[in-house]
A = this chain, B = another copy of it.
Amino acid sequence: MSQVIPVEEKILSENERLAAAIRADLASRAIPAINLISSPGSGKTTLLEKTLHHFAGGRRIALIAGDVQTENDAQRLLAAGGERVQPIVTGGACHLDAKMVGAALDRLDLTGTELLIIENVGNLVCPSGYDLGEDHKVVLLSVAEGDDKPLKYPSIFRRAGLMLLTKIDLLAHCDFDPERAEQNARMINPEIATIRLSCRSGAGMENWFMWLERLIGKSSQPESHEGTRNV
């Protein structure tokens, strides 16, 4: 397997070049971007449905929804009122890369967009190594998954700016200690911020919406940049 490493390095360096171009383009438009990463079924799409509802008529959010197969997530986001939604079907690949995201951005009208959210493929391992040009990686961990996961899958927790502990309505029914989960995450990444929330009960959702509002506020600039996108 000695041949893998140079090829992987070449792919990663090409990915970094494309990601840097995406980041520069989004910055020039004052569009902050986040990259949501988690296991399958941690609640990424449901969180985005609730986020679209909350910001409906207020903030203009563009969404890129990645999946191994089906455009089901993108369809759900359109049904939830998403007006700027692009699916990426990887056809088997276990993560999004900057080339896929660049192509999806080319199909999106970004005029006036105030926030870009990229929903990665459900996978707690592989997506962490691929920069998509985002400002922050956000990792979701459902309380049904166990509080040991930051230690067992450290790469994404090391790189994420924010951990969302999702499905906290299930805390009474699972052997999950949220404080231990947060301690474990901070052992890997002392700077990581955390929010506990439940899309089902609504608990903690305001903290997530405020986090997004602050992100939008930081990126907004006096001059607006509009027009077509060039990477």
Task: Give residues in A with beta carbon < 8 Å to B.
Answer: 1, 3-4, 7, 10-11, 14, 39-42, 67-70, 72-73, 92, 94, 99, 121-126, 142, 144-146, 148-149, 151-155, 167, 169-170, 173-174
Contact among B67, B99, B142 for A144, CB-based, below 8 A? B142
Q: Is the CB of B151 within 8 A of A72?
A: yes
Contact among B40, B125, B155 for A153, CB-based, below 8 A? B40
A3 cross-chain contacts in B, Cβ below 8 A? 7, 10
Q: Is the CB of B40 within 8 A of A149?
A: yes
* Whole-angstrom CA separation of A152 from B7 in the bound complex: 28
Q: Is the CB of B68 within 8 A of A152?
A: yes
* Whole-angstrom CA separation of A155 from B67 in the bound complex: 13
Residue of B nearest to A95 (CB): B125
Determine how many copies of this chain the complex contains: 2
Q: Is the CB of B70 within 8 A of A145?
A: no
Q: Is the CB of A149 within 8 A of B69?
A: no
Contact among B7, B92, B151, B153 for A122, CB-based, below 8 A? B153
* Sample of 11 more A-B contacts, CB < 8 Å, known A41-B142, A169-B173: A4-B11, A39-B145, A40-B146, A40-B152, A68-B154, A70-B152, A72-B148, A123-B126, A125-B126, A144-B145, A170-B170
A73 cross-chain contacts in B, Cβ below 8 A? 152
Please give me the 6 A-B residue pairs with the lowest Cβ-Cβ distance, nearest first: A41-B145, A144-B144, A94-B125, A39-B39, A39-B40, A41-B146
* Whole-angstrom CA separation of A152 from B35 in the bound complex: 19
Q: Is the CB of B39 within 8 A of A122?
A: yes
Q: List 5 A-B contacts (CB under 8 A).
A: A39-B124, A41-B149, A70-B148, A72-B148, A73-B152
Q: Is the CB of A170 within 8 A of B144?
A: yes
Q: Is the CB of A94 within 8 A of B126?
A: yes
Q: Is the CB of A124 within 8 A of B122?
A: yes
Given known A41-B144, A125-B121, A173-B170, contact A152–B4 (CB-CB < 8 A): no
Contact among B40, B72, B121, B154 for A145, CB-based, below 8 A? B40
